[in-house]
Amino acid sequence: MSQTIQKNTPMLSVRNLVKHFPIRAGIFKRIVAWVKAVDGVDFDIYEGETLGLVGESGCGKTTIGMTLLGLYPPTDGSVYFNGEDITPYLLPGWKVRSYLKRTYIEKFKQLNHDEMEELPDELKHYAEVYFNDHKGDAGRFIRSFMENRKEKQKALRRKMQIVFQDPYSSLNPRMRIGNIIGEAVDVHRLASSKEERQKMVADILQKVGLYPEYAMRYPHEFSGGQRQRIGIARALILNPKLVVADEAVSALDVSIRSQILNLMEDLQKEFQLTYLFISHDLSVIKHISDRVAVMYLGKIVEIAPKKKLFERPLHPYTVSLMSAIPIPDPEHKKKRVILKGDVPSPINPPSGCRFHPRCPIAREICSREEPPLQEVEEGQKVACFFAGEMS
Amino acid sequence: MSVLSEKTPILQVKDLRTYFYTEDGVVKAVDGVSFEVYEGETLGIVGESGCGKSVTSLSILRLLDEKGRIESGEIIYKGKNLLELSESEMRKIRGNEIAMIFQEPMTALNPVYTIGDQIMEAIILHQGLSKDEARKLAIDMLRKVGIPEPEKRVDEYPHELSGGMRQRAMIAMALSCNPSILIADEPTTALDVTIQAQILELMQQLQKEYGMSIIMITHDLGVIAEMSDRVLVMYAGKVVEHASVRELFKNPKHPYTWGLMNSIPRLDIEYERLYAIPGTVPDALHFPEGCRFHTRCEFATDKCRSEEPPLVEVSPGHLSACWHIDRLESAVAVQRKGESA
């Protein structure tokens, strides 16, 4: 999106987000290993923009979406929504205390007053709350998060919604469309009467290009594209700020896919939505995004404004990914980088840079040290020691 | 290679009609499809789900389930009509002369047999080799398709291999009897793009080596552009356009092909807004009268609604089934002018 928006505080900030899943085995179901699905990810999403998140299967892109919505509790890291730390509402209650201690209280206790200015923005706000509002009382600080936790959680869920990939399994086959969409209205008590609820459902159905009469029908009566419209209507009826679209068009045929992409762009303008658009398909990502983050094995390897990323990708993985996509033009001749081997398992990711076993330009340092995600050009961050060498 | 090549085709499908008798009615999945495959070439069949592209390939191998019936048509392979062969004669063709690889290698492979057993089964059956010889050949095949440590992998089960490796194993199995035609039904759709690039490269390289013909079935126009020599575009059980790959992409002569090409976001071109073909694919139980695409076509007239357009040659080697190619051509010209401006 435009530069002016970029300078504002981000709508959503993700800091060092980690999500590990345990693997259990044996009769006692002991934890034998961890799947490191997301392993320390930082990014921001600004209001009104579309951030595309692209990567191959198993890279952790869906896990990020699910974690942001509180569908999986994060293992570590923080999520800020308009500057407010929402991690306590994503975690189960019994973990909130240790989270707050780890993230804030222990840091603040060792803090001199003049160091406060140097804290990152997110922490600074809470340092002020901690020292000024709560007079450095850890118990009061923690209680302020625990009070009305359920209500705050619910309010947050209204602001963040998701559209799933598979329009066949994400709609309950025994519910009428009107109830699938209207359920959220009931949960959040947004309608004072049955008629008002009906009207809300009818309005949103029209907005996504369906007839209001469809409210009485069941999911099996609809095609894939229509079902995806229903999924979008269900997400939008709460008037959310942020919509996570998790492979929202991947299951659709080409001719239907472009209809849904256009619809999502129209709705974004009309409702001032912010999208986190997750997809494995770089050409779809290129079409819809303002900025793009490329993931590989639980890490962001490159994040940049769309134009920059597609004109000059700097990470060798981004370069190979782009060159791997078949271009629908037989006259188009290009040099192709074909990667060797498969994506390694996230249970036991390679040492150093996770891409080094498949990287065409890997050197000795790559297997030893992990490259940090650094700004190489304005707005373009890359995690590679030799960024730009392949572009 | 031109459509009307002087060479005799290795496979000829003539007016194939495959219908499915379901409880709700007759589904005319393939309704009068004709094409030919020449030696060493790749024929791409492209279309959306339900257009009949997979059923066409299953009909060639006579692998339909009990609801499906081949109503009429001929499938001539090396002078023999496959539809007139007995089941045991057909078994000698299947896997031996015409082999097939499928979209989902996990469901196409048998989970309780090792990779080696499954490759050897076909070799022993069709080539009459001993078990030891067959095993040697299986290991050779696995090496050819780029599976590391084939001596070890030959004794592994499908679940021990990754998606890309499984597809390689499927290709090894299909090519082990040196078929003259390989049917690949969405062979890379379930794979990641970097793995897809590996598999497509492998298929091209093996085609050069073995000289087989490939029938490449896919919904992805990018894969078609990269792999095919000639292309068949299918819609609602019919062939709507048939041309060499360069000609098809340069001068699309059917509104559906043109719409499809405009609907895909591309890496090399920037679009403000995507073109979308309006409406949805018609229900296979009730295909529209006349041209089956008329409900979604912006050039449709009354003629399209009542009369079915025949597949005719509109320029040398280029077949299309449309009444209003002139209208389409002027629309394409306007679009191209806008792009170059």
For B242-296, write each residue's pLDDT tens digit. Answer: 999 999 999 999 999 999 999 988 877 777 788 989 988 888 888 999 999 999 9
Residue type, A178: G
CA–CA min distance A99, chain B (Å): 37
Contact B249, B231 (CB under 8 A): no
Write out the two tokens for B302. 């009354």
Task: Give the list of residues 6+ apart from residue B93 with CB closer than 8 angstroms, or none.
Answer: B61, B77, B82, B85
Distance, CA of A218 to CA of B288 (rounded, Å): 25
Find residue A242's DSSP bridge partners.
A160, A274
Asked if A328 lies within 8 A of B224 by C-beta distance, the reply is: yes
Which tens digit of pLDDT belongs to each residue from B58-72? 999 999 988 999 999
Q: Report DSSP state, residue B151.
A: H
Per-residue model confidence (pLDDT) at position A52: 97
Report residue B164's pLDDT band, with 50, 70 and 90 as the boundaries. confident
CA–CA min distance A342, chain B (Å): 7
- ipTM of this complex: 0.84
CA–CA min distance A83, chain B (Å): 33
Distance, CA of B147 to CA of A344 (rounded, Å): 16
Mutate which of B227, B245, B267, B293 to disrupt the A interface (most A C-beta within 10 Å)?
A: B267
Which tens digit of pLDDT belongs to each residue from A131-149? 888 888 999 999 999 998 9
Asked if B220 lies within 8 A of A339 by C-beta distance, the reply is: no
- What residues in chain A have per-residue pLDDT under 50? 1-6
Per-residue model confidence (pLDDT) at position A5: 44
Q: Report DSSP state, residue A156.
A: H
Greater confidence (B297 vs A340) lies with B297
Contact A341, A324 (CB under 8 A): no
Place of tokens 């081997």: A341
A198 burial (CB, 10 Å; 0-12 / 13-18 / 19+) is middle
Asked if A325 lies within 8 A of B267 by C-beta distance, the reply is: yes
Which tens digit of pLDDT belongs to each residue from B302-315? 999 999 999 999 99
Contact B219, B264 (CB under 8 A): no
Which residues of chain A lie closer than 8 angstroms to B274, CB-CB? 258, 261-262, 287
Write out the two tokens for A340. 């060797």
Residue type, B286: H
Specify whether the backbone of A16 is left (phi greater than 0), alpha (psi in -120 to 50) or beta.
left
| Residue A375 dihedral angles phi and psi, to the nearest 5° | -75, 120
Residue type, A341: G
Q: Report DSSP state, residue A40.
A: E
Task: Give the list of residues 6+ apart from residue B63 with CB closer than 8 angstroms, or none.
Answer: B94, B100
Q: Which residue of B has its CA nearest to A210?
A: B279
Write out the two tokens for A221. 């009566």
Find residue A292's DSSP bridge partners.
A52, A304
Contact A249, A269 (CB under 8 A): no
Which residues of chain A lie closer than 8 angstroms to B200, CB-CB? 326
Contact A295, A55 (CB under 8 A): yes
Per-residue model confidence (pLDDT) at position A7: 52
| Residue A167 dihedral angles phi and psi, to the nearest 5° | -70, -5
Per-residue model confidence (pLDDT) at position B6: 60
Asked if A255 lies within 8 A of B200 by C-beta distance, the reply is: no
What is the sign of the dihedral through the CA atoms of A153, A156, A158 and A161? negative
Which residues of chain A lie closer than 8 angstroms to B198, CB-CB? 338-339
Q: Find the chain A residues whose C-beta atoms sit closer than 8 A to any C-beta of B.
A: 56-57, 223, 225-226, 253-259, 261-262, 265, 280, 282-284, 286-288, 310, 320-332, 336, 338-339, 342-343
Which tens digit of pLDDT belongs to each residue from B315-324? 999 999 999 9
β-pairing, A242-246 with A12-25?
unpaired
Report residue B106's pLDDT band, with 50, 70 and 90 as the boundaries. confident
The reply to whether B339 touches chain A by the CB within 8 Å rule is: no
**Residue B18 is inside which H or E element, if any?**
strand B11-22
Helices (H), A222-302: 224-236, 254-271, 282-288
Specify whether the backbone of A76 is left (phi greater than 0), alpha (psi in -120 to 50) or beta.
beta
